[in-house]
């Protein structure tokens, strides 16, 4: 069973990485190209992320500039941003699209903090589900007499420690994002 810890810790690490990716897409009042990761554009019948059809740059802390490689996609990029949940109105000058990130209001900051806490809780549930799967596998081994009762107790203790480690990591990532959101 101890050989299988790697499998479960890898799954837990992927959960943390997915959470970090979700946090990157939550805008914190400053320009970050990661907020566009979830926005896709219809490009010749294909749904493509903006980063695959344009250059995204940040000339200052509050602005993103999107310069498509094919000028004919300008309108579809603008439309995709408008229908997304970013809450930013794109400015199209015929060559590039500018996204100006306004200063976050106190109310919007509180909404975003609720959102990241929800993401954090979902990640913790995923971690607990991974622990449950590992425990089920250990109980199955016990049932088949592959491990002893003492081994099962040790596995349970080890899994609790591993789970605690990753849930604490989630709390730290959440606290850092919350601190970032509260910065003015």
Instruction: Find all residues with CB under 8 Å of 20, minimum gap 6, and list them.
Output: 173
pLDDT at position 27 is 64
Dist. CA 139–CA 151, nearest whole Å: 10
Dist. CA 140–CA 117, nearest whole Å: 35
pLDDT at position 29 is 62
Same CATH topology for 2-24+105-182 and 33-100: the answer is: no
Average pLDDT over the chain, rounded to whole? 86
The answer as to CATH 3.30.1360.40 being correct for domain 33-100 is: yes
Cβ-contact 66, 56 below 8 angstroms: yes
- Rounded to an integer, the average pLDDT of 146-156 is 89
pLDDT bin (cut points 50, 70, 90) of residue 38 is confident
Per DSSP, the three-state class of 176 is helix
- Rounded to an integer, the average pLDDT of 126-148 is 91
Higher pLDDT, 112 or 129: 129
Given a cut of 90, is residue 3 above it in pLDDT?
no
Instruction: Find all residues with CB under 8 Å of 62, minimum gap 6, and list them.
Output: 29, 30, 31, 100, 101, 102
pLDDT, tens digit (0-9, with 9 covering 90-100), for 156-174: 999 999 999 999 999 999 9
pLDDT at position 128 is 94
Pick the CATH number of 2-24+105-182 from 1.10.132.20, 2.40.50.100, 3.40.50.300, 3.30.499.10: 1.10.132.20
pLDDT at position 167 is 95
Dist. CA 134–CA 96, nearest whole Å: 51
- Angle separating helix axes 106-143 and 149-182, nearest 10 degrees: 170
pTM comes to 0.69
pLDDT bin (cut points 50, 70, 90) of residue 86 is confident
- Rounded to an integer, the average pLDDT of 130-149 is 90
Residue boundaries of the structural domains of the chain? 2-24+105-182, 33-100
pLDDT bin (cut points 50, 70, 90) of residue 105 is confident
């Amino acid at each position: 069973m101890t050989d299988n810890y790697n499998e479960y810790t890898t799954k837990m690490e992927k959960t943390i990485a997915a959470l970090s990716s979700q946090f990157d897409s939550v805008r914190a009042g400053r320009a970050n190209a990661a907020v566009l990761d979830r926005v896709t554009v219809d490009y010749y019948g294909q749904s493509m992320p903006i980063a695959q059809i344009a250059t995204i740059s940040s000339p200052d802390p509050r602005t993103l500039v999107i310069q498509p490689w094919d000028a004919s996609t300008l309108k579809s990029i603008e439309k995709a941003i408008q229908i997304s949940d970013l809450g930013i109105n794109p400015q199209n000058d015929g060559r590039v699209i500018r996204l100006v990130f306004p200063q976050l209001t106190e109310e919007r900051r509180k909404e975003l903090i609720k959102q990241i806490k929800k993401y954090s809780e979902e990640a913790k549930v995923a971690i607990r589900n991974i622990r449950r799967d590992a425990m089920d596998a250990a109980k199955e081994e016990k049932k088949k007499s592959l491990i002893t009762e003492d081994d099962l107790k040790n596995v349970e203790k080890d899994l609790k420690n591993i789970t605690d480690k990753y849930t604490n990591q989630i709390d730290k990532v959440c606290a850092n994002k919350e601190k970032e959101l509260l910065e003015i």
